[in-house]
Structure 1
Amino acid sequence: MKKFVFTLMIALQGALFLPAAQAMDMKTNPKAVLELFTSQGCSSCPPADAALREWSEQDDLITIAYHVDYWNYIGWEDVFSAPKYSKLQRAYAKSFGSERVYTPQLIVNGEKDAVGSRRGDVQKLVAAADLHVGVDLKLQDGNLTIDLTSDGATQVDATIWVIPFISTAQTKISRGENRGKTLAYSHIARGRMPVGMWHGEESHQMELPLQDILTDQADGMAVLVQTKGAGGPGRILGAASIQK
């Protein structure tokens, strides 16, 4: 895994954030992006959450956990949930030609899905996956620079997304289906921001201020280059991530 050392000072949620000379873990050549739709109120989700934590340690995989809100009514409100993640999952379902959503659903490269706790099924999807657009990230002077590279042979309409995340967290569940458990999570999405478009050029660069990205306790981010599907998200073409 590549390391990137940087020094910066930015204002973050009203306080000074100073990761002075701190090593960052960066992934710039993954073969797959694993997006897990999960909930603290779902008794079937902890095994999938545990699997995602393990996959997050692999250099060739980028993982993101979206906590949906439609389980909140049964006694425990997921502390990381938001309606926008449920909406994203429904948009994926529409792209797949379905109206069905479930947890734990894991989507590989925006194209195919499996039950997130069925590791063998997920590994089969990962084995067949690839990402052909290069995404490189650089941090300097409080800014994030995103560089995209490809062979320029294909014209596409793809959105560049930045997903800030909390790299690790634990929650003690006192009610609902998982009551009494202390559960661990990884790469918890704290937003999903479209920051630009890419149309297949051989090279493309953009720069963003970190103080607009690292919000809501986020200590890392993923960058996805993703096409549009039939009414929702489509295939992911390239990705990278960086975290403390």
Structure 2
Amino acid sequence: MTLRPFLGAALAAFSFAALAAPASAEPVSRPRAVVELFTSQGCSSCPPADALLTSLAEQHDVVALAYHVDYWDYAGWKDTFGNGDYSDRQRDYAKGWGSSRIYTPQMVVNGAKGVVGSRRGEVHGALQGASLPLTVDIAQHGDMLKIDISPDLDFENAVVWLVTYLDRVDVSIDKGENAGKSMVYTQVVTGRQALGMWEGASGADLKLPMGEALAAGSSGIAVVVQQEHDGLPGPILGAATFER
């Protein structure tokens, strides 16, 4: 694995060797799908999709992540978690699929298929038979997190992403299409950064200081291994989550 210094000097703890210390937390079960919801507090069609994502997050075999976009902010309410980078991520998915159209709510399953996030049947249809071929494990070792990514010669190199999120946020919306509503949002992404490249032939072991990985008040992290094609997001190969 080729490591880039996105988390600063603290990532000097990276190692290809297995750690000798015993794990103090149970390994995260292997998921079959990563579901990314592109949503907005200013979108009247989004609450059903937000609720559906909450139910998906309760399944132990699904990694659910809510990316709040910023292109609805013009409608009178600035999304408290809206981020132009997340809007760009959605645009990159569309571009990779040969489209210029983006919309909310949209759910993307395993980086490969986008569906209307409020249509429960479409979402469950996209999840049917979904699988992630690569094993990613996270365990706690004292004040460190140990991430293991298995080797797999069947796949090209991929980017390892660290995604932080809040498992629950309550928001009272005063303006826009959802004015007057008190909303509960779950799995809200608060940050996303690349850790490095996964090289299939060798796999990788990685240690992260928990205080740095869970900075800015986040309650959980997801490690997502995703291929890229011409700089655009491709299929997700594996993922795991950890919550404190």
User: What TM-score do you get using the length of structure 2 for normalisation?
Assistant: 0.86
Counting only pairs closer than 5 Å after superposition, residues 207-218 of structure 1 correspond to structure 2 as 207-218=207-218
Match of 1:121 in 2: 122
CA shift digits 1:60-104 (9 cap, x unpaired): 101000000010111100101111111111111111111111000
Gaps of 5+ in 1: 1-22
CA distance in 2, matches of 1:127, 1:78: 32
* Contact 1:168–1:184 (8 Å) recurs in 2: yes
Question: What is the DSSP-based 3-state SS (H/G/I as helix, E as strand, rest coil) of the residue aligned with 2:35?
Answer: strand
* Contact 2:67–2:188 (8 Å) recurs in 1: yes
Q: Which amino acid aligns with 2:74?
A: Y
CA distance in 2, matches of 1:69, 1:214: 24
CA distance in 2, matches of 1:94, 1:71: 20
Match of 1:198 in 2: 198
Q: Which amino acid aligns with 1:40?
A: Q
CA distance in 2, matches of 1:193, 1:116: 25
CA distance in 1, matches of 2:25, 2:58: 14
Compute the RMSD of aligned alpha carbons.
1.6
Question: What is the DSSP-based 3-state SS (H/G/I as helix, E as strand, rest coil) of the residue aligned with 2:48?
Answer: helix
Match of 1:112 in 2: 113
Deviation at 1:26, TM superposition (A): 6.2
The count of corresponding residues between Structure 1 and Structure 2 is 221
Match of 1:161 in 2: 161
Which structure's residues are more often strand, by fraction? 1
CA distance in 1, matches of 2:211, 2:222: 15
CA distance in 2, matches of 1:210, 1:222: 13
Counting only pairs closer than 5 Å after superposition, residues 54-203 of structure 1 correspond to structure 2 as 54-150=55-151, 152-201=152-201, 203=203
User: What TM-score do you get using the length of structure 1 for normalisation?
Assistant: 0.86
Identity %: 44
Task: Say if 1:143 and 1:219 are closer, same or farther in 2 by CA, change over 3 A.
Answer: same
Deviation at 1:25, TM superposition (A): 8.3
Match of 1:228 in 2: 228
Deviation at 1:230, TM superposition (A): 4.5
